[in-house]
Amino acid sequence: MMNFEEPNANLVSHEFLAVILAGFGDELHPLVSDHGDEPCPKALLPVANMPMIDFPLTWLEQSGITEVLLICPAAHRSSISHHIHSDTSSSSYPSLHVDVQTYDESPDEPVGTCAVLKRFSSRIQRDFVILPCDFIPPEDLPLSSLLNKYRVESNLDGAIVTSCWLKAHDADKGAVPEEWGRIGSSVPIIWDKKSGTLLHIDTPDDRDRNFDELEIRMSLLSRYPVASLSSKYTDSHVYVCKRSVLDVLHHRSMFDSFREEFLPWLCKIQYQKTKREKYGRVLRSIMTKEAQVLALRHSTLFGGSIHAQDLSSRGSNSPSLKPVPFSVTSSPAHLDEGDEPLASLRIGIITHDTVFACRVNNIAALLEANRQFLSRTNYTLPTDPDNRALIDAKSQISSDSMVGSSTKIGERATIKRSVIGRHCVIGKMSRVVGCILLDHCVIGEGAKLEGCILGRNTKVGARAELLRSLTQAGYEADAGATIRNEKLEVSDWTAGPGEESDEE
């Protein structure tokens, strides 16, 4: 009998671990509120009829990472795990090995990402990639280019993190109500284009301290005299990090948010001497094992600017110092094995300007992401005869809409620029313009919907008019109701039959 076991199962250790953080989605309220007893996780909220979490998972699969650690609130665990691991769902991922872990969080007290990472740092034993569950990656930026930049830089000169920043998208004013949030609030950053190093992120704390001016250190400028400053970029929250970054995180327990507090602090290590001395050792611990020290000394295109001895004898950073994006090597004449190259401990940055990408963390972003997908689609009637029969011949569906399977569309219904989920029922003569309907919605006859987002199982009565409203899953709007610019929750509806247009 031949032995057909997997021969190379543990020959190659996996290089990266992907950590996907799924939160509650506070800004997407009321879409993420519970449907009865069942939670509606933000991660499963569909964008263009695909659950949001499918986007980063597909991106990961394409880049070749196989190990995923997904961290979600305890309440969402079963639905998310069911979605990922079930074979029947169309979005199963054969090559990914997803480990779903939970943390206890209630919507009232949000837990910061730093705390979550600290809690799970024992499960993260190698270099990791942090991804948010709501990231829609751009089509022309594969994750492998981020990974490649990290691989080269961490070996070459000890970079610790590689981040990706997207161009903030300007929405049309007035298209979206102010309270629905802004897409991709941009943050002023300073970075060096030539070496792709992120130098400074402006945090809300900095802004509180000094609103008018942007304070930066001279040591930053003397190292990188030609740096660029822009406020047009927004953080994608995709970080490829070295494992030792978690060790530093344990040292700094006061940080709560990775993006807002820890990362700007990490940027400062590369040019602030005191921080460097304190944390350099921690961050550098694995570097010498992986770095090709001897090979780089012999490499013809490497280093050659300053002696290591000159570097240590310098007191303060002198302005005549040439910025050295590569780490400094000592003269090859001194071939001591103990010489360590000076790690640059820098943060890499990839900026992405071209194709649309964003984080769908508020309502405006959700609308915009759906709009982007709609602009690329072309609606055609379904070929499947059962589905085809459900869609009435006299209905008008514009080409920039999406209709999910098993949706019944009644006679003379008009659908324009909308995303309709699965198993919906759109009544006769209704008008749905610029809306997003999740699964199982029922729209009564003659209803008019414009610019709305309806949660799952929403029922809209006949001849109702909803304009720019959001509904929680399971909401029922009465027949003939007129609702404008409101976020509707189920509690309003159960409050009493007479009060339908109350605010939350």
Torsion on CA atoms 203, 207, 209, 212, rounded to nearest 10: 140
Among 7, 36, 174, 385, binds other proteins (CB under 8 A): 7
Total residues in contact with other proteins, by rule CB under 8 A: 45
Between the CA of residue 387 and those of 64, 131, 382, 433, 457, what are the distances in Å? Answer: 36, 36, 6, 22, 20
Give min distance, CB of 298 to other proteins, in A: 4
Question: Phi-psi region for residue 416, left (φ > 0), alpha (ψ -120 to 50) or beta?
Answer: beta
Q: Does 74 bind other proteins (CB under 8 A)?
A: no
Among 89, 106, 231, 299, binds other proteins (CB under 8 A): 299
DSSP letter string over 159-178? --EEEEEEEPP-PPTTTS-G
Give min distance, CB of 252 to other proteins, in A: 28
Site string for other proteins, 167-206 (x = CB under 8 A): --------------------------xx------------
Task: Between 10 and 380, name the residue whose CB sits nearer to other proteins.
Answer: 10
Between the CA of residue 461 and those of 342, 427, 445, 475, 490, what are the distances in Å? Answer: 69, 10, 8, 11, 15
The SS3 of residue 477 is strand
Among 3, 88, 90, 316, binds other proteins (CB under 8 A): 3
Q: Does 254 bind other proteins (CB under 8 A)?
A: no
What tokens does 442 get?
């029922």
Task: Between 311 and 389, name the residue whose CB sits nearer to other proteins.
Answer: 311
Whether residue 479 contacts residue 465, with contact meaning beta carbons closer than 8 Å, is answered with no
Between the CA of residue 132 and those of 56, 202, 439, what are the distances in Å? Answer: 8, 21, 24
Give min distance, CB of 336 to other proteins, in A: 12
Looking at 336-456, which runs of residues are DSSP E strands? 347-352, 358-359, 396-397, 402-403, 408-409, 414-416, 419-420, 425-426, 431-433, 436-437, 442-443, 448-450, 453-454
Q: Does 29 bind other proteins (CB under 8 A)?
A: no
Q: Does 144 bind other proteins (CB under 8 A)?
A: yes
Give min distance, CB of 322 to other proteins, in A: 9
Of the candidate spans 304-312, 371-379, 397-405, 429-437, the one that interacts with other proteins by CB under 8 A turns out to be: 304-312
Give min distance, CB of 154 to other proteins, in A: 8
Q: How far apart are CA 203 and CA 62, in angstroms?
A: 33
Whether residue 464 contacts residue 478, with contact meaning beta carbons closer than 8 Å, is answered with yes
Q: How far apart are CA 481 and CA 473, in angstroms?
A: 18
Task: Between 292 and 377, name the residue whose CB sits nearer to other proteins.
Answer: 292
Q: Does 1 bind other proteins (CB under 8 A)?
A: no
Of the candidate spans 44-52, 60-68, 201-209, 214-222, the one that interacts with other proteins by CB under 8 A turns out to be: 60-68
Of the candidate spans 77-85, 116-124, 305-313, 407-415, the one that interacts with other proteins by CB under 8 A turns out to be: 305-313
Backbone φ, ψ for residue 235 (5° rounding): -80, 130
Give min distance, CB of 326 to other proteins, in A: 9
Question: Phi-psi region for residue 414, left (φ > 0), alpha (ψ -120 to 50) or beta?
Answer: beta
Q: How far apart are CA 75 and CA 248, in angstroms?
A: 30
Among 17, 70, 156, 452, binds other proteins (CB under 8 A): 156
Pairing status of strand 347-352 against strand 161-167: parallel
Residue (of 34, 82, 112, 32) closest to 361 by Cα position: 32
Among 1, 12, 254, 393, binds other proteins (CB under 8 A): 12
What tokens does 76 get?
């969402």
42 DSSP assignment: G
Whether residue 61 contacts residue 20, with contact meaning beta carbons closer than 8 Å, is answered with no
Give min distance, CB of 343 to other proteins, in A: 15
Of the candidate spans 3-11, 209-217, 391-399, 465-473, the one that interacts with other proteins by CB under 8 A turns out to be: 3-11
Q: Does 335 bind other proteins (CB under 8 A)?
A: yes
Q: Does 155 bind other proteins (CB under 8 A)?
A: yes
Of the candidate spans 26-34, 160-168, 215-223, 300-308, the one that interacts with other proteins by CB under 8 A turns out to be: 300-308
Of the candidate spans 102-110, 238-246, 277-285, 295-303, the one that interacts with other proteins by CB under 8 A turns out to be: 295-303
Query: For residue 288, with 0-12 CB atoms within 10 Å meaning exposed, 13-18 middle and 19 or more buried, which class applies?
Result: middle
Among 306, 321, 425, 481, binds other proteins (CB under 8 A): 306
Instruction: Please give the helix or strand (H or E) that residue 228 lies within, else none.
Output: strand 228-230
Task: Between 2 and 254, name the residue whose CB sits nearer to other proteins.
Answer: 2
Task: Between 113 and 154, name the residue whose CB sits nearer to other proteins.
Answer: 154
Task: Between 333 and 393, name the residue whose CB sits nearer to other proteins.
Answer: 333
Q: Which residues bind other proteins (CB under 8 A)?
A: 3, 5, 7-8, 10-15, 62-64, 142, 144-145, 148, 151-152, 155-156, 193-194, 226, 290, 292, 294-307, 310, 331-333, 335
